[in-house]
Amino acid sequence: MEKRKRQEAILSLIRKHAIATQEDLVAHLRRAGVRTTQATVSRDIAELGLARVPGSGPGLSRYAQLGEGLGAASTAAREERLQRLLRDLPLTVRRGQGLAVLISTPGSAAPIASALDGTGWSEIVGTVAGDDTVFVALAPQPRAYPAFAQRLARLGAFVERED
């Protein structure tokens, strides 16, 4: 099956079903008549900009499309992806030395970090995601943290005041 049709099938399946793992997705694809491997599905997930988001219930997650369209999203779409996440997930921003510490709900750190990485914001050097916490390494610029915090506040995050 051609790549585009397989990816369209993936998008259709994740809209209809709460699919939590790549193995589940491969099984759903097979039931829909699409033969593929977990490695191919893994690449498709990355290309489509899918992320695991909290599902209904503690410890549950599912794949969701956070960007628009197939393939690489525009810068505006990547920022919109982050905005949608922040609309659905509580996020607290704290200042560290040379970094920002972002705290959200369990299971949400990876999608938030991925969305931040995708923005291309000049203040961000990189991110490290745990379960509910993201460390954001900030550029060595005096105004990196204030600019970063202001962007997140505009998108709906709670930024703790500095003493």
Tell me the pLDDT tens digit for each residue of 26-82. Answer: 999 999 999 999 889 988 887 787 888 776 666 678 888 764 443 445 566 778 778
Please give the mean pLDDT across all residues of the chain: 85
List, for residues 20-36, the tens digit of each pLDDT value: 899 999 999 999 999 99
- Indicate whether this model's pTM tops 0.85: no
SS (H, E, C) 82-124: HHHHHHHCCCEEEECCCEEEEECCCCCHHHHHHHHHHHCCCCE
- Where is mean pLDDT largest: 85-89, 111-115, 123-127? 123-127
Whether the CA torsion 67, 70, 71, 72 is positive or negative: it is negative
Is the pLDDT score of 128 beyond 90? Answer: yes
Give the pLDDT of residue 81. Answer: 79
